Amino acid sequence: MRIALAQIDSVVGDIDGNASRIVDWLGGARAEGADLVLFPELAVTGYPPEDLLLRPGFVRAAHDAVDRIAKETRGITALVGGPRLDTDLFNACYVLAHGEVRCIYRKHYLPNYGVFDEDRYFAPGDDLYLLRFGDVLVGPTICEDVWQPGPPATDLALAGAQLVANISASPFHVGKDREREEMLKVRARDNSCFVALCNAVGGQDELIFDGHSVVLDDEGEVLARAPGFEEALLVVDVDPVAAVGRRLRDVRRRALQRGRERVTATEIELAPPREQSQPVQRTLAEQLSDLEQMRRALELGLRDYVQKNGFGDVVVGLSGGIDSALTAALAVEALGPERVHGVSMPSRYSSEGTRGDAQRLAESLDIDFRELAIEPVVEAFTAALAPSFEGRAADLTEENLQARVRGTLLMALSNKFGWLVIATGNKSELSVGYSTLYGDLAGGFALIKDVYKTDVFRLARWLNERAGRDLIPTSIIERAPSAELRADQRDEDSLPPYPKLDVVLEAFVELDRSREELGRDGFDPDVVERALGMVDRAEYKRRQAPPGVKLRPRAFGRDRRTPITNRWAG
Amino acid sequence: MRIALAQIDSVVGDIDGNASRIVDWLGGARAEGADLVLFPELAVTGYPPEDLLLRPGFVRAAHDAVDRIAKETRGITALVGGPRLDTDLFNACYVLAHGEVRCIYRKHYLPNYGVFDEDRYFAPGDDLYLLRFGDVLVGPTICEDVWQPGPPATDLALAGAQLVANISASPFHVGKDREREEMLKVRARDNSCFVALCNAVGGQDELIFDGHSVVLDDEGEVLARAPGFEEALLVVDVDPVAAVGRRLRDVRRRALQRGRERVTATEIELAPPREQSQPVQRTLAEQLSDLEQMRRALELGLRDYVQKNGFGDVVVGLSGGIDSALTAALAVEALGPERVHGVSMPSRYSSEGTRGDAQRLAESLDIDFRELAIEPVVEAFTAALAPSFEGRAADLTEENLQARVRGTLLMALSNKFGWLVIATGNKSELSVGYSTLYGDLAGGFALIKDVYKTDVFRLARWLNERAGRDLIPTSIIERAPSAELRADQRDEDSLPPYPKLDVVLEAFVELDRSREELGRDGFDPDVVERALGMVDRAEYKRRQAPPGVKLRPRAFGRDRRTPITNRWAG
């Protein structure tokens, strides 16, 4: 039997466009001789559509689109994700064949943790289906269903499924592809079942879907794997009936049946697999290193945000520091140099070194570059504020002012030319609030907001290594980090050194370790004390920050919902 | 039997402070001779604690606080809301008496819609308890439990409860108190049961809890009602045993028992009601008009945001227009004139009228006032951008620039003096994106972001009526709205007239009416077309807006979760 996994990049809300794309790829799968083609979860609406799901007109349009797609299923069966509203609203896998909707599987397990809010929208389903293709029995499931160790996968296997088909929109973090594959290996072995998981790909606001669709046999061996971070049609020949023999030798599953009513599923009769003239070539995309995953995710996230929102060009403020250098370099890889504009906005505190580096970077990246002097603007502000500030010493106010002048200049360029401003703050800064609202946090997209400073350095070196040259000048990578908002300023004057800070942030932000536990974990108590206080106090800044690419298991935002008004200090 | 409802204003995260407050109020209830005192849902942690609940140290601290509170329950029984972590995490009502935790009721129904995310945190409970005070049987429940028409209230009544006690943190919108009371009347009658609902009060980021705790008899008559928008101890004498006789005459409840196992609840024996020397005075706070509810909610929301976050003063940019006038007037009522600073920042487009009105308003409100000229700063920006903008006509860029200069000046005052900037945008503007990011949207709190422009006018007139004078000069109320960002500008040049716009926004934003339906509803098709396109396109601005007080059933933010990347146009 030949199955195809259509790992496509849907656009949230673009129901007509998504339907057309599904029909196109369905045709591609048919041309490859596939008997069955899988599309991602909610492929018709894009994932996650959030509260659009509460608009009845939106769901009706999705129903209509499914009907149109169904008409195109001559000679092939398609599993297509979309919402289903009848007795209630469900997250559904439509089984389309012979021009019609043959059955509708409703997702059993609705994730409502991390970035997920599915209980907000959907009612859980409880029906099971077996799709019969001659001797082959396929059990459809949706995303979270297969992350559960028990039913529906175990029940489908008990009912006779030889292949568990899963349509997913599984949000990315670094290493998620390997976690997902390890989990699927165990599901395949536990159930003596082939498993095929078709994942979405693409960026949607802060989320990335990484693709990496995969097919495993009943011993957990990966038969085929689609590449990450790009659309792909993964075609593979499988013989799941072969699993039946092994099931008779491994009867652990039978213990699950004991003392229960016999598990059954509604059987849907479909066309038997066709004879294939020759076997399909095996696709096994290589797994990517953590750094390469970050790079690909950041580029995909930016490209999709820009394109799906109809922007042309982007603009980045280049300070001569490493954050803006990495941001600009990633933007160039994502969009091409002709769509990236660099702006240097030196002040009296900018060194010759950073000023020259900003220009050298622009030359290295081959992007449009301009320098705008902020000094006269800062002076005009200073004069306007002088009567109010009389007798007061300079403090953070004057530093923030410079950052806001820069933010305002970038926004003016954005307004005039339609460029999207890419903010350059990293996760370490955003964690502790070492950033200026409406200043360096100004912009439409904060590309590297989920990249810790230590990873900013690693990524910059990785980009240079890949390029085989100093794409980002080494002087930028080697200079001690400074905001250059006052004379001789260094980040380490205000913050613990980044290597020490980042490990504490990771334990606190990603792992929810408490102050006490962090003490027991052996972290520098002074760093812990300073970092924790800063993280919770900075929530109000993060709330007004632009969206950016989620790379980590716990990104700020929908992943980590912290009150602003909060006196808990732990 | 005497019961007390302690309608308190907890601070999220301040577990020690909340516990002390609970102990204080518990003492107050004891002094009033109460046999039973109710505290709000999650009173120990504040509501909603959001992802703090995922930090085990936080929940442990809440457990410890409950144990400390329990020790103070000599001669009184207390129902106290807090989280409970044992086999899983529950939203619990601790029943405290005689110095110990007597039982723990776990919330059955977890709201996960609107502003709620309780499925994210809690597992549902399924146990029922009956608290026996001599002949009186009280069934504890938590918030959403009593919004459900069936169990647990119906089951508690079947099991014998004569009084359903409900501890709540029920978020406010205009008119919510009346909806809540209507619902409780029906519950009381359906179950032939007394009902006592103790609601939280106070502001927490965007949410307001309005208090209005209430006690009803089994015929749905309101026996006592606490005031809205302030802390209160509502003490009332009830005789729920009287309900038993009426139950024998109204046996509808018995039909619910038919064909089921007999409903039972775990009975907890508590001290019988004490003899009272004299009956308690009846408290029946009057219900407030919609406008007065808005006013009180806005003032409470601002006051709690300022105080719970440790701010002293606030600063408001005064344009001479009605939005900033209303914002400043509300701030003065919430905080007193000595804590409010007004700043006028006229440009070449500011009329003599608005400039004078800004000053007259400050005088009327008796607040600190200064004027900062923005023209030199705007000119400095214009000069810095001139090489980039050469040959380009003036457009929105130049308008936004002025707004951002003002935002930056306010933020500089905020940084230097520690004043919280109150942004002045209203819901109509925020809906259609008629506002400038980092300009008029800059600030720590956007007080009137959920007030439609037509309500801004109504509120301004209401404030004047209450004051018995032109607190807000009538020239401000009567002038046609203008952003004054270019010559002779009027809002109506860019937007439909507010009365026409607001009704469409209300139908689209609050009621999720689709484009088609709005057409059928008889709204001006041109207004519908313009408004809907603007609303969805402005999502990215709202995402970076400061928090503000939720007044409406559907506020932007956690109430209405819309993707930024979204091609759905309906």
Tell me how close the Cα of B93 comes to any Cα of chain A, in angstroms: 21
What sections of B81-171 are H helices per DSSP?
A: 144-147, 153-159
pLDDT at A515 (0 to 100): 85
Q: For testing the chain B interface, which of A54, A408, A540 should be mutated: the one with the most B CBs within 10 Å?
A: A408
State residue A184's pLDDT score: 98
Query: By 3-state DSSP, what share of chain A in percent is helix, strand and coil, each rounded to 5?
Result: 40, 20, 40
Specify the pLDDT at position B245.
Answer: 80
Establish if B546 touches chain A: CB-CB under 8 angstroms. yes
Residue ranges of B 236-275 with Cβ closer than 8 A to chain A? none
Active site residues of A: 41, 107, 143
Span between the terminal Cα atoms of chain B, in Å: 56
Say what the pLDDT of residue A108 is: 98
Who contacts A316 (Cβ-Cβ below 8 Å, separation ≥6)? A324, A327, A328, A331, A340, A341, A342, A343, A421, A422, A424
Question: pTM of this prediction?
Answer: 0.96
Nearest chain A CA: its distance from B507 CA (Å)? 12
Q: Which residues of B touch A533 (CB under 8 A)?
A: none
Rounded CA separation A369/B387 (Å): 13
Q: Which among A377, A540, A563 has the least Cβ separation from residue B50?
A: A563
B391 touching A (Cβ < 8 Å):
no
- Residue closest to B119 by CA, chosen among A117, A303, A414, A262: A117
For B104-133, what is the mean pLDDT? 97
The pLDDT of B104-113, averaged and rounded, is: 97
CA distances from A131 to A26, A63, A270, A358, B40 (A): 18, 22, 7, 60, 52
Residue B87: pLDDT band with limits 50, 70, 90: very high
pLDDT of residue A200: 98
User: Which pLDDT score, from 0 to 100, does residue B282 have?
Assistant: 92
Q: Who's near A51: CB < 8 A, 6+ residues apart?
A: B560, B561, B562
Q: Mind listing the pLDDT tens digit for each residue in B460-516?
A: 999 999 999 999 999 999 998 888 888 888 888 889 999 999 999 999 998 888 888
Q: Do A376 and B383 touch (CB under 8 A)?
A: yes
Q: Which residue of B has its CA nearest to A406?
A: B381
**What is the CATH T-level fold of the domain B290-491+538-543, as seen in this structure?**
Rossmann fold (3.40.50)
Active site residue B143: yes
Tokens of B419: 């004043």
If we measure between CA atoms, which residue out of A199, A97, A98 comes closest to residue A146? A199
Determine the Cα–Cα distance for residues A533 and A529; give it in Å rounded to an integer.
6
Instruction: Domain ranges for chain B, please list them.
Output: 2-270, 290-491+538-543
pLDDT at residue number A273: 96
Give the containing element (helix H, strand E) for B104: strand B100-106
Interface confidence, given as ipTM, is: 0.95
**B250, pLDDT greater than 80:** no
- Per-residue pLDDT reduced to its tens digit, B34-70: 999 999 999 999 999 999 999 989 999 999 999 999 9
Q: What is the pLDDT of residue A244?
A: 79
**For residue range B291-301, what is the model confidence (pLDDT) as tens digits?**
999 999 999 99
pLDDT at B514: 84
Q: Does B74 have pLDDT greater than 80?
A: yes
Residues 6+ apart with CB under 8 A from A520: none
Contacts B413 to A, Cβ<8 Å: 385, 388
* CB nearest to B309's CB, from A49, A389, A565: A565
| A64 contact B CB<8A | no
Q: For residue A302, what is the nearest residue in chain B, using CA coordinates?
A: B565
**pLDDT surpassing 80 at residue B453:** yes
Per-residue pLDDT tens digits for B321-378: 999 999 999 999 999 999 999 999 999 998 888 999 999 999 999 999 999 999 999 9
Q: Which of B95, B87, B100 is nearest to B130 (CA)?
A: B95
Contacts with B, A 309-348, CB within 8 Å? 309
- The reported pLDDT for the residue numbered A456 is 98
Q: Which B-chain residues 166-225 have CB contacts (< 8 A) with chain A? A: 203-205
A204/B565 touch (CB, cutoff 8 Å), yes or no: yes
Concerning whether B93 is annotated as a catalytic residue, the answer is no
Do the Cβ atoms of A567 and B11 come within 8 Å? yes
pLDDT per residue rounded down to tens, chain A (570 residues)? 999 999 999 999 999 999 999 999 999 999 999 999 999 999 999 999 999 999 989 999 999 999 999 999 999 999 999 999 999 999 999 999 999 999 999 999 999 999 999 999 999 999 999 999 999 999 999 999 999 999 999 999 999 999 999 999 999 999 999 999 999 999 999 999 999 999 999 999 999 999 999 999 999 999 999 999 999 999 999 999 888 788 877 777 778 888 888 899 999 999 999 999 999 999 999 999 999 999 999 999 999 999 999 999 999 999 999 999 999 999 999 999 999 999 999 999 988 889 999 999 999 999 999 999 999 999 999 999 999 999 999 999 999 999 999 999 999 999 999 999 999 999 999 999 999 999 999 999 999 999 999 999 999 999 999 999 999 999 999 998 888 888 888 888 889 999 999 999 999 998 888 888 898 989 999 999 999 989 989 999 999 999 999 999 999 988 999 999 999 987
Residue B536 has pLDDT above 90, yes or no: no
Residue B194 pairs with which residues in a beta bridge? B163
Fold agreement (A2-270, A290-490+539-543): no
Which residue from A449, A445, A447 is spatially nearest to A430, judged by alpha carbons?
A449
Q: Residue type for A147, please?
A: W
> A143 and A168 in contact (C-beta within 8 Å)?
yes
Does domain A2-270 bear CATH number 1.10.10.1100?
A: no
**Which CATH class name applies to A290-490+539-543?**
alpha beta
B540 touches B430 (CB < 8 A) = no
* A385 and B CB contact within 8 Å: yes
Q: Which of B93, B103, B118, B143 is catalytic?
A: B143
Round to whole Å and give the CA distance between B179 and B139. Answer: 22
Residues in chain A closer than 8 A to B305 (CB atoms)? 565
Q: Do B408 and A395 touch (CB under 8 A)?
A: no
Here the tokens at position A134 are 């001659």
Q: Which pLDDT score, from 0 to 100, does residue A251 have?
A: 74
- Name the token pair of A564: 């602003």
Q: Which of B416, B515, B547 sits opposite A543 (nearest CB)?
A: B547
Residues of A whose CB is below 8 A from B547: 543, 564
End-to-end CA distance of chain A: 56
d(CA A267, CA A339): 53
- To the nearest 10°, the Cα dihedral for A229, A231, A235, A240? 60
Among candidates B332, B331, B296, B326, which has minimal Cα distance to B458?
B326
